[in-house]
């Protein structure tokens, strides 16, 4: 018997106690030299994964039998943190002392050391398995002859000591990159050396550069990856078209934003008897990015493209993402096509997938489509006459699909994102909301339909792949949601767990009221986090039993994996030749989910920093805002047209003692009776902005620093509404 990973794990499990390497080697009949070559590397690998632990007696045991938990550290800016288990289980709370020895993102083995006053399991770090950070970006500070880097990421609570700050361009106050030369420990801070000076924090493009370093995004492709991508050329190899379905005469069109650079989906619809035939063609990235290639290894590391207001960090090199895999008009492109048949009511009666070749008939924007179909723009209608009837048919299909979506009770959060407008120097000149209309929804419904059919096809084929799973709201969030809804007079119709239609009915109750946007926000916060998993457990928000991501393989690795499964099935290849196991998919699902969250956090960080930089120029200016959050220490207010949020601290409210009602989310002044409630409208003044902390402070407009006399003793809502209950739990005075 050979000392494979599984054989060693089985041996340790059967032994019931930790074993030394000598005993393990003797079991497999190996001498010392053979053990060095065959047993030692496997044990080191298992230790790095957190499955095996080496104790102080130099014996090896299973971590799970020692009641040890392997997981990643998530840190809080206040110094404490948690271990998020690799496997299912409760998070472990880590006190600030335990957090001294780790960074946010490190993988550790931890033991349960007790239960705290809040009933949480407390942990103690036994071993650091993997250091998540080799570098830290932050501001260089010199005080009392000592130099250190204060990390920009608030989750990194260790200052990095710099023994030798003599980098040629390093100056106090500049943003630098420090390489960690000695990681933190219980009794000492981390040490580092400056390897790069980025510049001043307010320079154009700096927000994105800081985020790239903060979140360790790989923003440059290694030479072998670039070479592999370039080797495919800029035109489709005729040999690859052989045996593919030829759709080059079908007037497929792409519909994207005006600033889109890569086009990975094209659509077409036509009448078919009493129903419709719909084609959703997706760039066949899997034809070029194959398992085991340099391109694939890099795509796994990135997991997804990361989108910033001023640039994109792509998952694949531009020669593919903006070239050979982009469905540009007027050129042949390889695609994987979902062909769907719909009846007259929009029900999908059948679907099949094809490896095909297409030739895009037009590159359209959402606004162009809206102007053609809804506004009847004569110039555009004439310019795109060759695809105009296709658009009318697509809109017919969209209306049917949207009706079926409403019938199944899918939740619709129709929010608009903030657009950053930059001046020629690269600074934010304007913030404005992007408008969203039926052309966006048309593409969304077509993509959802194709995603559903792709999930079903992969499931029926029995090939391991990743599904997009969105579970029901967790109990703790559901309790907060029910309390909020009850406090605002919204009827709850579910007994145990709500169905999607129940939450949709809540939205309908709030429609056309002042609190409608807040109800949407609270509902959204109550939902579980969507993840990638090989278990097809459905999508709660979309009210779908089966769902996967199929439509964006240029920018999402799970889509690429699904394409590989579908192509394997379409080609009728044997299952035993499929390159992935179920266990591999579990690991890929976890990693893709983690990398997706990393990209979202990086994008959100840049958005917040750019908003702060923009608002620095508006200190002292007044705006109309809406209350989006109420706490015992103040109210959060958003300026809707710009998507900018800030805090009106209780000390910036009119002088009074304030009481907070945590159920109704109301802050009430004791003496004047002013009430601050969710969705109240306020006129606010920008008081202060901190770009480093990414925080904006507001105050009520017209309230001077020394204002101290009430203008009226009437009890009223500060936002012009009345009737909120008075709270009893928080007593704060503006000083």
Q: Average pLDDT in the 2-7 region?
A: 90
Give the strand pairing for 674-677 and 716-717. parallel
User: Distances from the Cα of 193 to the Cαs of 22, 179, 541, 729, in angstroms?
Assistant: 41, 5, 47, 49
Q: 619-733 architecture in CATH?
A: Beta Barrel (2.40)
Kindly give the pairing relationship between strand 348-359 and strand 245-247.
parallel
The pLDDT score that the predictor gives to residue 372 is: 96
Per-residue pLDDT at 715 = 39
Cα(682)–Cα(623) distance, integer angstroms = 8
Res. 502: pLDDT tops 70: yes
Pair of tokens at residue 193:
């050396």
Identify the architecture of domain 135-200 in CATH. Answer: Beta Barrel (2.40)
Location of structure tokens 């779908």: 544
> Does an H or E element contain 20, and which?
strand 19-20
Please report, rounded to a whole number, the percentage of residues in the chain having pLDDT higher than 70: 95
Check residue 339 and give its pLDDT: 98
CA dihedral 604, 607, 611, 612 (to 10 degrees): 60
Cβ distance 664 to 680 under 8 Å?
no
Token pair belonging to 628: 């989006």
> Span 572-599, mean pLDDT?
94
Predicted TM-score (pTM) of the model is 0.85
pLDDT in tens, 717-726: 565 433 333 3
Mean pLDDT, the chain, rounded, equals 90
Structure tokens at 664: 């109704």
DSSP secondary structure code for residue 547 in this structure: -
What residue spans define the domains of the chain?
5-65, 67-130, 135-200, 223-469+537-599, 475-527, 619-733
Q: Does residue 287 have a pLDDT over 60?
A: yes
pLDDT of residue 481: 85
DSSP string, 419-430: EEEE-TTS-EEE
Q: Express each pLDDT in 448-470 by its tens digit.
A: 999 999 999 999 999 999 999 99
Q: How confident is the model at residue 732 (pLDDT cuts 50, 70, 90)?
A: very low
Pairing of strands 245-247, 191-199: unpaired
Structure tokens at 10: 């089985």
Q: Which of 644, 608, 697, 597 is nearest to 210 (CA)?
A: 608
DSSP string, 556-620: BHHHHHHHHHHHHHHTT--GGG-S--HHHHHHHHHHHHHHHHHHHHHHHHHHHHHHHHHHGGGTT
Residue of higher predicted confidence among 522 and 695: 695
- Please give the pLDDT value at position 676: 93
Q: How confident is the model at residue 475 (pLDDT cuts 50, 70, 90)?
A: confident
Model confidence at 150, in pLDDT bands (50, 70, 90)? Answer: very high
Which position has the higher pLDDT, 497 or 687?
Answer: 687
In degrees and rounded to multiples of 5, residue 494 shows phi and psi of: -105, 155
**Fold: same for 5-65 and 135-200:** no
pLDDT in tens, 661-708: 887 789 999 998 999 988 889 999 999 999 988 999 999 998 755 454
Alpha-carbon span 83 to 74, nearest angstrom: 6
Residue 200, beta-bridge partner list: none
Average pLDDT in the 347-357 region? 97
Q: What is the pLDDT of residue 729?
A: 36
Statement: 67-130 belongs to CATH 2.40.50.140? yes
- Lowest mean pLDDT of 100-114, 337-351, 494-508, 704-718, name the range: 704-718
Q: What is the DSSP letter of 190?
A: -
Q: Which fold has domain 5-65?
A: Arc Repressor Mutant, subunit A (1.10.10)
pLDDT, one tens digit per residue, over 255-269 is 999 988 889 999 999
């Amino acid at each position: 018997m050979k000392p494979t990973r599984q054989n060693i794990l089985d041996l340790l499990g059967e032994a019931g106690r930790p074993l030394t390497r000598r005993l393990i080697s003797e079991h497999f009949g190996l001498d010392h030299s053979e053990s060095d070559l065959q047993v030692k590397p496997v044990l080191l690998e298992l230790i790095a994964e957190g499955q095996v632990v080496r104790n102080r007696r130099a014996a090896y045991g299973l971590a799970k039998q020692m009641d040890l938990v392997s997981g990643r550290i998530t840190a809080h800016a206040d110094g404490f943190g948690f271990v998020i288990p690799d496997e299912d289980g409760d998070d472990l709370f880590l006190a600030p002392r335990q957090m001294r020895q780790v960074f946010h993102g490190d993988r550790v083995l931890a033991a349960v050391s007790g239960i705290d006053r809040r009933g949480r399991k407390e942990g103690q770090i036994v071993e650091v398995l993997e250091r998540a950070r080799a570098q830290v970006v932050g501001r260089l500070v010199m005080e009392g002859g000592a130099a250190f880097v204060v990390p920009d990421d608030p989750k990194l609570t260790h200052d990095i000591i710099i023994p030798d700050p003599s980098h040629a361009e390093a100056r106090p106050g500049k943003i630098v990159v420090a390489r960690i030369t000695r990681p933190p420990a219980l009794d000492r801070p981390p040490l580092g050396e400056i390897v790069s000076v980025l510049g001043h924090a307010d320079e154009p493009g700096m927000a994105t550069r800081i985020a790239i370093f903060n979140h360790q995004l790989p923003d440059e492709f290694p030479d072998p990856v670039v070479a592999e991508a370039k080797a495919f050329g800029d035109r489709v190899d005729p040999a690859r078209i052989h045996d593919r379905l030829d759709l080059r005469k079908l007037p497929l069109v792409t519909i994207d934003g005006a600033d889109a650079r890569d086009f990975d989906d094209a659509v077409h619809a036509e009448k078919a008897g009493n129903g419709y035939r719909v084609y959703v063609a997706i760039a066949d990235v899997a034809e070029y990015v194959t398992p085991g290639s340099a391109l694939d290894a890099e795509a796994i590391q990135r997991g997804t493209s990361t989108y910033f207001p001023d640039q994109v960090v792509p998952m694949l090199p531009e020669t593919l993402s903006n070239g050979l895999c982009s469905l540009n008009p007027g050129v042949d492109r390889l695609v994987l096509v979902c062909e769907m048949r719909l009846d007259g009511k929009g029900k999908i009666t059948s679907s099949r997938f094809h490896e095909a070749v297409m030739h895009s008939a037009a590159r359209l924007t959402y606004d162009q489509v809206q102007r053609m179909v809804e506004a009847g723009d004569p110039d555009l209608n004439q310019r795109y006459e060759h695809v105009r009837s296709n658009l009318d048919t697509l809109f017919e299909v969209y209306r049917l699909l949207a009706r079926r979506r409403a019938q199944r009770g899918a939740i619709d959060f129709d929010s608009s994102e903030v657009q950053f407008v930059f001046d020629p120097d690269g600074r934010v000149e304007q913030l404005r909301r992007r408008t969203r209309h039926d052309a966006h929804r048309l593409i969304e419904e077509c993509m959802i339909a194709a995603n559903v059919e792709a999930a079903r096809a992969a499931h029926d084929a029995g090939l391991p792949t990743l599904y997009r799973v969105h579970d029901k709201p967790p109990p703790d969030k559901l309790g907060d949601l029910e309390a909020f809804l009850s406090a605002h007079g919204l009827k709850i119709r579910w007994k145990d767990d709500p169905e999607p239609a129940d939450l949709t009915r809540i939205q309908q109750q709030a429609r056309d009221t002042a609190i409608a946007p807040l109800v949407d926000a609270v509902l959204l916060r109550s939902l579980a986090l969507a993840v990638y998993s090989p278990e097809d457990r459905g999508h709660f928000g979309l009210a779908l039993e089966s769902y996967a991501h199929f439509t964006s393989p240029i920018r999402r690795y799970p889509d690429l994996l699904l394409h590989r499964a579908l192509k394997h099935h379409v080609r009728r290849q044997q299952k035993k030749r499929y390159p992935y196991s179920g266990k591999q998919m579990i690991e890929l699902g976890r990693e893709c989910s983690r990398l997706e969250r990393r990209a979202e956090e990086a994008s959100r960080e840049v958005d917040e920093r750019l908003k702060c930089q923009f608002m620095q120029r508006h200190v002292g200016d007044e705006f109309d805002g809406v209350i989006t959050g109420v706490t015992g220490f103040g109210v959060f207010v958003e300026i809707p047209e710009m998507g900018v949020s800030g805090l009106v601290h209780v000390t910036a409210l009119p002088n009074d003692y304030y009481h907070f009602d945590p159920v109704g989310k109301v802050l009430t002044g004791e003496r004047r009776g002013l009430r601050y409630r969710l969705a109240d409208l306020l006129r606010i003044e920008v008081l202060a902005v901190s770009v480093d902390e990414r925080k904006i402070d507001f105050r009520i407009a017209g309230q001077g620093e020394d204002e101290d006399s009430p203008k009226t003793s009437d009890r009223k809502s500060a936002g012009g509404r009345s009737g909120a209950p008075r709270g009893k739990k928080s007593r704060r005075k503006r000083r």
